[in-house]
Amino acid sequence: MNAANGQERNPAEEDLLLLAELDVLFDKVDPMPADLVDRVRFAIALEDLDVEVARWVHAEERVGVRGPSPNTVTFTVEDLTIMVSLTPAGASCRFDGWLVPGGPHTVEIRVSGHPSTITSADSDGRFAADEVPRGTTQLVVHIVDDRGERSRTVVTPTLVS
């Protein structure tokens, strides 16, 4: 019973009302980004779902001597490190990247709403791509084995270029 008015209380009902009030409060104070659903769909919309997801290791803005500074991001998964520097150039970006260990792997740069940009790393693991559209971006690295066959695929978390 509720001591104040002599009526029985229903804790589950009160909890639901409190949660509904909290939901309204959070919608006002910290609303969900308008493009969140699109970003999540982009991040999981890979044709080949048998992928390893790399984790974000380091992001750093470096001060450039001239022009805008490049943004350098590093990702890692078990035995592969992916480092990429993004240099904005108007409506596009230049990607300079390195895979460690190196090898002639295929690098796909996915940008939401645009066709993928495909490039290849050299034997030292270096790759580059000019004029990649800016937006929600994800790197997909198709690793080749010693026979030159695709052995696995590694995908990075999304970033905004």
Q: What ranges do the domains of the chain cover?
A: 1-31, 36-160
Rg of the chain taking only CA atoms, in angstroms: 23
pLDDT number for residue 1: 44
- Alpha-carbon span 72 to 86, nearest angstrom: 6
Residue 129 has pLDDT above 90, yes or no: yes
Residue 35: is it exposed, middle or buried by C-beta count within 10 angstroms (0-12/13-18/19+)? exposed
**19-63: per-residue pLDDT in tens?**
888 888 888 888 887 877 776 776 666 655 567 777 778 555 444
Q: What is the mean pLDDT of the chain?
A: 81
* Over residues 129-153, mean pLDDT: 87
Provide, rounded to the nearest whole percent, the portion of the chain with pLDDT above 90.
Answer: 34
